[in-house]
Each structure stands twice: as C-alpha cells, then as structure tokens.
Structure 1
C-alpha cells in the first residue's frame, strides 16, 4: 500500500514528465541506427521513472554481461548518448528536483 501511495505521489509531482522525456529520448535514439541499443534501455528507464518505488536494480556484474561502457568505445558511445538524449534528460531531472 505504501508503494502505491509513493508511486502516485511521485507520478503526480514530476514522475510523469520524467518518464515521458525518457520515452521521447528513446524515440529519438530509435530514429538512428546507432542509437537503437540505447532506445530500449531508455524505455526501460522510463518505466522506472514512472513508477520507481518497489523496483530493484540489478548490477551488470551479477548478470555476467560484457560491459561496453569502458574504454574508448564506451567514451564514443557516451558522447553520442549525451548529444542525442542525455543532456536534456539530465536537465529535466534537475529542474524537476528543484521544483
């Protein structure tokens, strides 16, 4: 019951905007061939932005997956992410938090 109340409060006071921006960022990334892997990740994060309480984050190390986010390839991919979606999503989170 507490999770439901917290999720509803979160959604009303900014979660809806945060989730919509993640969905929009994923849609922009889906338009590019290079951004397709990030679009699915952004849509997963959107679900966390809409309803964060009661969810559990699992670290990649526990799953045994290869981490692309390190090294020169990770740097290039992070720059692409920042240019196409990361900057405005980070700004929106900051503005929602201040409000």
Structure 2
C-alpha cells in the first residue's frame, strides 16, 4: 500500500498547476498511513504540500513561489512582469 500511496501522491504533485483539492482527493485515501508516505517524500514534495495547503486557506493571494493557473486571466501579466494586480470589482 505504501509504494502505491507514494506513487499516486507524486503523480498528483507533478501535475502542472496542482491544487490543494487535487492533492487532498488523493491523499485522503491514504490518511491512515500519512506519516509513512510523508517520510518517503522529498523535502521539495513536502514543501509543495505545505504551500498548497497554505494557498488553499488564503484564496486570492499570490506571492513569491505561488502557482498561477494557466486559466487565470492575469497569468500572462504575472509571468511577464512577476507582479499581480487585481483590478476586479469590489
């Protein structure tokens, strides 16, 4: 079960634009062996999990190292300039 859990979790983390929800959909299947699979992941992978979780609790916040979805209308500006300006209503 552990090798399959690590494989499934690595596969979802490797997807471009992976979200917390996508990770959580896979990870909750292996919640009973969480400490075991976390021990098998690299530091970069566990850091990504932490970043995804933090981003999910702060929607709309883009900072250094944030993942910007290709569907985000401001993505081109963010990639080109390294900055994000929200000019939405409100």
TM-score (norm 2): 0.28
Q: Which has the higher contact order (CA 8 A, sep 6+)?
A: 1
Structure ranking higher in helix proportion: 1
TM-score (norm 1): 0.27
